[in-house]
Chains A and B, each alone.
Chain A
Amino acid sequence: MADAGRAIEAVWRIESARLIAGLARLVGDVGLAEDLAQDALVAALDTWPAAGVPENPGAWLMATAKNRAIDRLRRQAVHGRKLEELGRETGAIFALERSEFEAAVDDEVGDDLLALIFTCCHPLLPREARVALTLRLLGGLTTAEIARAFLAREATVAQRLVRAKRTLREAGVPFEVPRAAELAERLPSVLEVIYLVFNEGYSASAGEDWVRPALCEEALRLGRILAELAPQEPEVHGLVALLELQASRLRARRGPGGEAVLLANQDRSRWDPLLIVRGRRALERAEALPGPLGPYGLQAAIAACHARAVGPEETDWVRIAALYDALGQLLPSPVVRLNQAVAVGMAFGAKAGLELVAAIEDEPALAGYHLLPSVRGDLLAKLGRTEEAAAEFRRAAAMTDNAAERDLLLGRAERA
């Protein structure tokens, strides 16, 4: 029975997104679609352990959900509803009944899934709600799992989900894939959600609840699905490339004390060659499409430069500096400029790097950011200005919360 439960859970994980997407197209509401899908899951848990998992579990779940939907909507229709609602519901009943006779074709399944992604990531919803709804409806995660993954209270996440679904319903957001111009406008919101999910997993440290590091895999999965559904969008491939390449360094990103290990100091033998290959391939797909690379594509191109290099010295820093320059123009951010300064320092000498750092050192966004003095210390040390370098490392050490990182910086201060 326990095994049957786990097998059903696995089927659910595989089928739920498509099921919810297909139902949402018929009933026009993701909240209702989710309830109906849940009804079908309950029915599966009732019958499958004894009868076995059906040959085509996806079709079984869909047929069951549709029947429940028709029952439910008819019942509601009987209980005197507003005329407008009644019209909508009889429309849904009609759509459901008619759909019994039409198997959804492949393209439609893809469109439904894409519509579900865009609906979950609708700009009308606050960011945390978009993330929670995406993980719930597309990832098949339970509310409890989402709460654990984001270190939030379960009740908070539950409320966030309820509110998000209500917002979509009340605003009458249509369940559809946005058209050309609108798609371009709404795509960044989708990509942002996937990147946020990934980063949450990336920031998890060893020994944490497995749900958190698993977020990286979930983000990758969502990104790859999106790349198959919207292959004409270069930034989708750019994001996938970035995620694959960043994930390739997951095993090297932390030291034994759990401290973050900077890229230059990472043990490159721990980088995952399969993910590097996959990342480079995704980047090639982005580059093959018309138009210049977007912010994700550029970051992926930078990551690919690092992935290609045997070590920090063998890295193509001139190209990385140029890529950061392009990125800074699309994404004006002092952190991007700081990274550019590091690359320029490597490519054209510490003096050139320091000049760039000087241009951003008063940015309020960098106040308290320990990597600013740390980078400056590094560049000063290279110029032989050891006392100034030591002072910068000590300043950086005072700014970080991580003990291992602090020790590292204080060590550098002493050696400088």
Chain B
Amino acid sequence: MRFMMFMYPEITEEEWQPDAEAFAAMGRYNEELRKAGMLLSLDGLHPPAEGGVVTFRGGDASITDGPFAEAKEVVGGYWLIQARSLEEALEWASRCPGENCRIEVRRVFELEDFPEELREAAAGV
């Protein structure tokens, strides 16, 4: 099973002043995930001011520049891990050296979670 762990910093961009120690702690945590054979990928994201949003009203797409949301609702980064249960993923998330943030843990859909006709549609068969 795969789980996405979304990190939501609960501080603003200006308040975010990470020091070397916090970086090192996060590095150790990531290393631990890797050594446990759980880590599939991870990334940190630039702030929303440097991003943009594509909104669909009906079928029409329109583009808005960032920033675009409350700081609390902005994903700051993610880990994609392989775990054997939701509980295991949650346990790993709670070991993150986080401060003033929350981590949302969500299970990734597998192809098998969809009925066969949708799978075929997705494959473009």
Contact = CB atoms under 8 A, between A and B. Distances in A.
A225 B37 CA distance: 5
B84 interface: yes
Contacts of B82: 217, 220-221
Interface in B7-40: 34-38, 40
B116 A10 contact: no
A278 B38 CA distance: 13
Nearest to B111: A251
Interface residues of B, number: 25
A9 B86 CA distance: 11
Given A14-B92, A269-B124, A274-B41, A6 B85 contact: yes
Nearest to B116: A256
A223 B123 CA distance: 30
Contacts of A269: 122-124
B112 interface: yes
A13 B90 CA distance: 13
Contacts of A223: 37
Contacts of B92: 14
Contacts of B34: 224, 228
Nearest to B84: A13
B91 interface: yes
A222 B82 CA distance: 12
Contacts of A6: 85, 87
A391 interface: no
Interface string A191-231: 00000000000000010000000100100111111001100
Contacts, number: 59
A366 interface: no
A387 interface: no
B88 A13 contact: yes
A11 B91 contact: yes
A110 B37 CA distance: 13
A7 interface: yes
B125 interface: yes
Given A222-B37, A224-B37, A228-B34, A10 B112 contact: no
Nearest to B80: A274
Contacts of B36: 14, 221, 225
Contacts of A14: 36, 88, 91-92
Contacts of A108: none
A270 interface: yes
B69 to A, nearest CB: 27
A267 B40 contact: no
A7 B37 contact: no
A220 B37 CA distance: 8
Contacts of B88: 10, 13-14
Nearest to A206: B112
Interface string B81-116: 010110110111000000000000000001110001
B124 A228 contact: no
Contacts of B40: 274, 278
B85 A10 contact: yes
B112 to A, nearest CB: 7
Given A7-B87, A9-B87, A270 B35 contact: no
Contacts of A11: 91
B123 A267 contact: yes
Contacts of B35: 110, 225, 228-229
A7 B95 CA distance: 13
A410 B111 CA distance: 30
A214 B123 contact: no
A220 B112 CA distance: 20
A116 to B, nearest CB: 14
Given A6-B85, A251-B111, A270 B123 contact: yes
Interface string B34-72: 111110110000000000000000000000000000000
B101 to A, nearest CB: 18
B20 to A, nearest CB: 19
Interface in A261-308: 267, 269-270, 274, 278
B91 A221 contact: no
B37 A10 contact: no
Nearest to A9: B87
B37 A214 contact: no
A285 to B, nearest CB: 13
Contacts of B111: 251, 270
A16 to B, nearest CB: 12
Contact of A10 (B87, B122, B123, B124): B87
Contacts of A251: 110-112
Given A9-B85, A14-B92, 6 more contacts: A9-B87, A10-B91, A14-B36, A221-B82, A222-B37, A269-B123
6 contacts: A7-B90, A13-B84, A224-B34, A228-B34, A269-B122, A269-B123
Interface of A: 6-7, 9-11, 13-14, 110, 206, 214, 217, 220-225, 228-229, 251, 256, 267, 269-270, 274, 278
